[in-house]
A and B are shown apart, each in its own frame.
Chain A
Amino acid sequence: MPQGIRDKVAIVGMGCSKFGERWDMEASDLMVEAYSEAIADAGIETRQIDAAWLATAIEEQHVGKSAVPLATALRLPYIPVTRVENFCASGTEAFRGAVYAVASGAADIALALGVEKLKDTGYGGLPQRGRGTLNNMTWPNLSAPGSFAQLAAAYRAKHDITAADLKQSMAHISVKSHDNGARNPKAHLRNRITIDTVLKAPMIAEPLGLYDCCGVSDGAACAIVTTPDIARGLGKHDLISVKAIQLAVSNGQEAQHNSWDGSYFATTRIAATRAYHEAGIQKPRDEIGLIEVHDCFSVTELVTMEDLHISPEGGAIRDVLDGFYDAAGTIPCQIDGGLKCFGHPIGASGLRMIYEMYLQMLGRAGERQRSDLPRIGLTHNLGGFPHQNVCSISIVGHLGT
């Protein structure tokens, strides 16, 4: 087992643009908005950054390929810049690149920035992405909600749950995230809703209605990382360090082998186990104080509670309805509104989650601040489709915890 990156890298600055329908903003403007906050927070200058990573997932809709858009937007001084794409885990991939660069000693200070400008498509919802030449010949024209809706059918069948009971708990998840988003000035959706609103919303992909789906947003988020020593040298005291970053990528088993029943994310279970090991966490339900998961759809959040080994298998519905994951619950999930309401500019999402962890741990989260100042938090991204995906998990916390 590799020794991992626990406590080798500290976050010294973070920034996040306002998410939403930013009709008047180019992707480059959003990048600068997030970066300005982060660089001011870090208290450094651009020339101190040794290497940078840019995450975009649907680049054909905005900046195009390569790392040039980031280097240009921020006028980075001819340093190594890498563009990464790994579905909805892209933001965490950029973070992983920067953290690994620092942990290896190849860079003293590294930047990770994720951006997506999705609202130039002319219609609502995510655009259909390129799936590959052969896949186009055999795959359904599946949309994101249509592919994640598959979970609901399989989960109901496995746990013998009625469609109404499942929908009720999914509705609780969306209502909770809207409550949280309403307290977040940077969130895309800031309106509170009721269970009734969710249940009566138009159907998008059975059983996912409009309010079971997250927002499609423009936005950017960024992190500046360095070693704990350099961070202290910059005058930082209360350090937030990276405890673990894990990635698990489907190898075709779920899509092609009948060992998977369709009701859970095989990748999340594996990535979570590895991340807990890397972070030295024994009992996630007791040790983790805050989670931000990939709630692209309400049902995704629901089954993820089990795949992270926090709710028992088949027990997420109970925990959700009990308020375990509410803002005032035991482990708040999406205290910033999540993808559902903060929004989902794909390349930025993983970094946005870490941004929220950082704010909450430092007591800077404003109206939505959790009073107990979480010590250990987990972020989770799930890109692709339940049967074929990329899962990333990060664990961050106070250095020394």
Chain B
Amino acid sequence: MTFGILACGAYIPRLRLARRVIAEANSWINPSLKGQAKGERAICNWDEDSVTMAVAAGRDALAAHDRTAVTALYIASTTLPFLDRLNAGIVGEALTLPPGAQALDIGGSQRAGTSALSNALNNAGQTLVVATENRSARAASPAEMISGDAAAAILVGEGNPLARLVASATQTADFVDHYRTIESEYDYSWEERWVRDTGYMAIIPPLITRCLASAGLTPADVSHFCLPTALPRVANAVAKAAGIADAAVADNLHAGCGDTGAAHALLMLVSALERAKPGERILAVGFGQGADVLLFEVMAAMPAIAGRLGVSGHLTRRREETNYTKFLAFNDNIEIERGMRAETDKLTPLSALWRNHETVTAFIGGKCETCGTLQFPKSRICVNPNCNAVDTQQPHPFADTIGRINSYTADRLTYSPDPPACYGMIQFDGGGRWMMDFTDVEPDALTVGTAMQMTFRIKDIDAQRGFRRYFWKAAPSNAESK
């Protein structure tokens, strides 16, 4: 038994916005955007945020893992939706992690992901570390161009790890390349050349040297160098300064995803783990008010796991969004006319949410112990007309069950942030059904019988009270087609 990274996963939203689209809309005010108009960035659907992406990445990492063994959950992000409500609490419930597991939200800087992982590597038990980011940026800003939305999840603990930590080093410095406060919606950034020279180049190479030296290794022992930065050629320059071969510099996923902020170091680490061979070493860096440097030795090649997409699978699973206004609307960066039907009150009574949290957040229904019928939601009296037994239902999870479309529509009357609202009756393999929202679907491609998987999403946004509620939706199955 060795302590290390036992499993890892990722989530990158299906929607991608070509940078060309951003440049075409905004180069009238910022012509320099044209020079960056290559590739695409991942963007959240309207019903995705840092919490929903964390759940998806966590499920990806735990695809072949016993969730009851998890003893801690760390959520690292600078864009968590709730300031005073444990976001890790939502994620932990959605993942049906044991309520006894420790749960922490970790934020504060772009290296929140590596700091969380570094801490987890010192824990006893099994810690799931999820780094997630849904970055907001002003229209026409460079940040809008280079950012992306994604999450990465890494499970550490005792077992037969994919990789083990060899050495680490950290340094804290109140170096402010950019900041965001409780009063500001967007980052305020200083000149990139200064950040490069005085930040990345001055802080990281000495740390790498210290880390390698503590393990008795040399820069030549690094096969994968993961430095998350969207600044061009900076990763190569840092590698060179530290003596690491240029060939070891890992792709920063700029072409197909974008810089995912606090999630990016772990996203690049997961990507490296997917490519690495046993015996290779991965050096992962997190940068933000100092830096973390984590050196891993790869113990095993990433196995093929049913239901796991990882970084590479999520990069392949994509749908291009070409409508820039829609992107702005999804991120509340434009005041758009939503119609009177959008005025419907979305109040969530918190007492009712708590009473039903297993139903709503964990998607747990019931299984009748008398007749075996699966049903959602769980109820006092069995729904099977030939049973109707009372108080016989045990909790039964539906989140990982494939459902099939029994009926559907694409509704252009009801309010949806992304009309038409697609929904229908989902019938679960093995029993149980529910009339539910669909997401990530093509309205014209809906058919009866299509296999759908459950995905945790924003159900409604209560703009009046600054609340958002979550529930599960049906999305086309990654694994199974009709």
Residues of A within 8 A of B (CB): 121-123, 125, 128, 133-134, 136-143, 145-147, 149-154, 156-157, 202-206, 208, 251-253, 255-259, 261-262, 385-388
**B410 lies within 8 A of A206 (CB):** yes
From A128, A206, A252, A258, B443 is in contact (CB under 8 Å) with A206
Contacts of A133 in B (CB 8 A): 349, 352
Per CB-CB distance, the 3 closest pairs between chain A and chain B, nearest first, are A146-B411, A140-B423, A150-B407
Query: Is B421 among interface residues, defined by CB-CB distance under 8 A?
Result: yes
Q: Contacts A123-B340, A261-B406 given; 18 further ones with Cβ under 8 A?
A: A122-B340, A128-B341, A128-B415, A133-B352, A134-B377, A137-B348, A139-B436, A140-B421, A141-B421, A141-B460, A146-B411, A150-B435, A154-B406, A154-B425, A206-B443, A256-B375, A262-B406, A385-B435
Q: List 23 A-B contacts (CB under 8 A).
A: A123-B339, A128-B414, A136-B348, A137-B459, A138-B359, A138-B434, A138-B471, A139-B435, A139-B436, A146-B411, A147-B435, A150-B408, A150-B435, A153-B408, A157-B449, A205-B409, A253-B383, A253-B385, A255-B433, A255-B435, A256-B375, A385-B435, A388-B435
Dominant SS among interface residues on chain A: mixed
Digitize B445-482: 1 where CB-to-A-CB distance is under 8 Å, 0 elsewhere. Answer: 01011000000000110000000010100000000000
**A149 lies within 8 A of B414 (CB):** no
Query: Is B344 among interface residues, defined by CB-CB distance under 8 A?
Result: yes
Contacts of A152 in B (CB 8 A): 409
User: Separation in Å of the A361 CB from the closest CB of chain B?
Assistant: 37
Q: A138-B436, A204-B412 are in contact. Are A150 and B425 (CB under 8 A)?
A: yes
**A387 lies within 8 A of B420 (CB):** no
Query: Is B373 among interface residues, defined by CB-CB distance under 8 A?
Result: yes
**B414 lies within 8 A of A142 (CB):** yes
| Nearest CB in chain A to that of B405: its residue | A153
| Nearest CB in chain A to that of B387: its residue | A257
User: Separation in Å of the A355 CB from the closest CB of chain B?
Assistant: 29
Contacts of B459 in A (CB 8 A): 137-138
Digitize B347-372: 1 where CB-to-A-CB distance is under 8 Å, 0 elsewhere. Answer: 01100110010011000000000000
User: Separation in Å of the A323 CB from the closest CB of chain B?
Assistant: 29
Contacts of B410 in A (CB 8 A): 203, 205-206
From A142, A149, A153, A259, B435 is in contact (CB under 8 Å) with A142
**A138 lies within 8 A of B377 (CB):** yes
Contacts of B406 in A (CB 8 A): 154, 261-262
**A203 lies within 8 A of B412 (CB):** yes
Q: Cα distance A386–B352 when bound, in Å?
A: 26
**A143 lies within 8 A of B414 (CB):** yes
**B413 lies within 8 A of A204 (CB):** yes
**B413 lies within 8 A of A137 (CB):** no
**B383 lies within 8 A of A256 (CB):** yes
Contacts of A255 in B (CB 8 A): 433-435
Query: Is B437 among interface residues, defined by CB-CB distance under 8 A?
Result: yes
Contacts of B119 in A (CB 8 A): none
Dominant SS among interface residues on chain B: mixed
Q: Cα distance A239–B350 when bound, in Å?
A: 57
Query: Is B432 among interface residues, defined by CB-CB distance under 8 A?
Result: yes
From A138, A150, A256, B409 is in contact (CB under 8 Å) with A150
Contacts of A147 in B (CB 8 A): 409, 435
**B409 lies within 8 A of A252 (CB):** no
**A387 lies within 8 A of B375 (CB):** no
Query: Is B424 among interface residues, defined by CB-CB distance under 8 A?
Result: yes
Q: Cα distance A134–B405 when bound, in Å?
A: 23
Digitize B224-254: 1 where CB-to-A-CB distance is under 8 Å, 0 elsewhere. Answer: 0000000000000000000000000000000
Contacts of A261 in B (CB 8 A): 406
Q: Cα distance A135–B413 when bound, in Å?
A: 20
List B residues 132-162 near A (Cβ within 8 Å). none
Query: Is B170 among interface residues, defined by CB-CB distance under 8 A?
Result: no
Q: Cα distance A347–B435 when bound, in Å?
A: 26
**A206 lies within 8 A of B409 (CB):** yes
| Nearest CB in chain A to that of B347: its residue | A136
| Nearest CB in chain A to that of B384: its residue | A257
**A262 lies within 8 A of B407 (CB):** yes
Query: Is B416 among interface residues, defined by CB-CB distance under 8 A?
Result: yes
Q: A137-B469, A253-B385, A256-B432 are in contact. Are A142 and B423 (CB under 8 A)?
A: yes
Query: Is B313 among interface residues, defined by CB-CB distance under 8 A?
Result: no
**B413 lies within 8 A of A145 (CB):** yes
**A252 lies within 8 A of B383 (CB):** yes
| Nearest CB in chain A to that of B344: its residue | A128
Q: Cα distance A387–B376 when bound, in Å?
A: 14
Q: Cα distance A259–B375 when bound, in Å?
A: 12
Contacts of A157 in B (CB 8 A): 448-449
From B373, B376, B436, A140 is in contact (CB under 8 Å) with B436
**B421 lies within 8 A of A146 (CB):** yes
**B360 lies within 8 A of A153 (CB):** no
Query: Is B427 among interface residues, defined by CB-CB distance under 8 A?
Result: yes
**A262 lies within 8 A of B425 (CB):** yes
**B344 lies within 8 A of A153 (CB):** no
User: Separation in Å of the B454 CB from the closest CB of chain A?
Assistant: 12
Q: Cα distance A147–B339 when bound, in Å?
A: 20
**B471 lies within 8 A of A137 (CB):** yes
Q: Cα distance A388–B383 when bound, in Å?
A: 13
User: Separation in Å of the A337 CB from the closest CB of chain B?
Assistant: 22
Contacts of A134 in B (CB 8 A): 352, 356, 359-360, 377
Contacts of A138 in B (CB 8 A): 359-360, 377, 434, 436, 459, 471
User: Separation in Å of the A139 CB from the closest CB of chain B?
Assistant: 6
Contacts of B435 in A (CB 8 A): 139-140, 142, 147, 150, 255, 385, 387-388
